[in-house]
Amino acid sequence: MIVRIWHGRTKRSIADAYTRFLEDRAIPDYRSVPGIIQVEVLRRDLGDVSHFLTVTHWESEEAIQSFAGSDTLKAKYYPEDKGYLLEFESEVQHFEVVANG
């Protein structure tokens, strides 16, 4: 299993709206991909900024490719993200699950 982690930041004033966007658009998109195991979105508010981590669990690298394309470390963005995000990080992180409790 592979865990894929994406990080993004919004202004705190629009973080609730971004959360709704993720629930309505991004999470269903993730869940539609064969080979996805789990999707979690984490939020941390710090001052005027809200940080989001999207943590997804995948069966294989091939499953991630069907979602993200051939460059699986390249971050995937939605057109709507332009109205929310403060910047666009170019890469995500992948971790292989080696132990699970």
| Residue 20 covered by a domain | yes
| CB-side neighbour CA atoms (13 Å) of 20 | 3
In this prediction, residue 100 carries a pLDDT of: 86
80 in a structural domain: yes
Q: What is the 3-state secondary structure (H, E, C) of 16-83?
A: HHHHHHHHHHHHHHHHCCCCEEEEEEEEEEECCEEEEEEEEEECCHHHHHHHHCCCCCECCCCHHHHH
> What are 3-41's pLDDT values in tens digits?
999 999 999 999 999 999 999 999 999 999 999 999 999
| Tens digit of each residue's pLDDT (9 = 90 or more) over 36-81 | 999 999 999 999 999 999 999 999 999 999 999 999 999 999 999 9
Structural domain for 10, as ranges: 2-96
Residue 101 pLDDT level (bands cut at 50, 70, 90): confident
- The answer to whether position 79 is within a domain reads yes
Structural domain contains residue 101? no
The CATH number linked to 73 is 3.30.70.100
As for how many domains the chain has, the answer is: 1
Per-residue pLDDT at 58: 97
pLDDT at 70: 94
Is 28 a member of any domain? yes
